[in-house]
Amino acid sequence: MNLLDKSLKPGQKVEITGFTSDNVFRERLHEMGLRVGMLITILGRAPFGGPLLIRFNTSFLALRNEEAACARVKLN
């Protein structure tokens, strides 16, 4: 599944297993410090279906749907 999966709830931890696309989104995710094997905490979503909020290590990130959909994850 990807980070947008409906079964993921705030507070849950997931592990990145890969990236689906080969474009600028993945590049930016990498630059933000996300890599395969990294653990991410789902924090919630902004209003009106806005960006997804995640935390990894000491960083907080807001990702739009199409950006979050790039990261394949599994429940940790």
Partner 1 sequence: MRTSETELAVEQLSIALVGAPNSGKTTLYNWLTGSRFKTVNYPGATVEFSLGHLASHLGESHMMVMDTPGTYSLHPKSADEWVTLKSIYENPKVKKIDGIIVVVDGTQISRHLQLVMQLRETGFPLMVVITMSDLLRKEGIEIDIPYLQKTLGCPVLQFDGLLAGGLKEIVAEAKKLHWTKEPARPVPWTFEIQETKLNQCEQIAKEALSHKTDHAQERLNRIVATTEKLDRVLLHPFLGFALFIVIMSALFSSVYWLATPFMDMIDGWFSVANEWVAGLGPGTLWADFLANGVITSFAAFMVFVPQIFILFLGIGILESTGYLARAATLIDRPFSALGMSGRSFVPLLSGFACAVPAIIATRNIPSTKDRMITNFVIPLMSCSARLPVYALCIAFLFHGESPLKAGLALAALYIGSMFLGALAAGIVSKFIPRQEPSLFMMELPIYRRPKFRVLLRHAWTRTLSYVKRAGPIIFTFAVIVWVGSTFPNYQTEDAHQKLEESYVGQLGKVIEPVVAPMGVDWRVGVGLISAFAAREVFVSSLAVTFNITDGDEDSQQEALLTQMSAATNAQGEKIFTVSSVIGLMVFFLIALQCMSTVGVQIRESGSWKFAVTQLVAFNLFAYVLVVLIVQGLRFIGVP
Site residues for partner 1 per CB under 8 A: 19, 22-33, 35-36, 43-51, 53, 55, 57-64, 66-67
Q: In angstroms, rounded to a whole number, what is the distance separating the alpha carbons of residues 54 and 71?
A: 12
Q: Which is nearer to partner 1, 7 or 11 (CB)?
A: 11
**Other Cβ atoms closer than 10 A to 24:** 10
C-alpha closest to that of 35 among 8, 16, 54, 62:
16
Q: How far is the CB of 7 from partner 1 (least distance, A)?
A: 18
Q: Which is nearer to partner 1, 5 or 26 (CB)?
A: 26
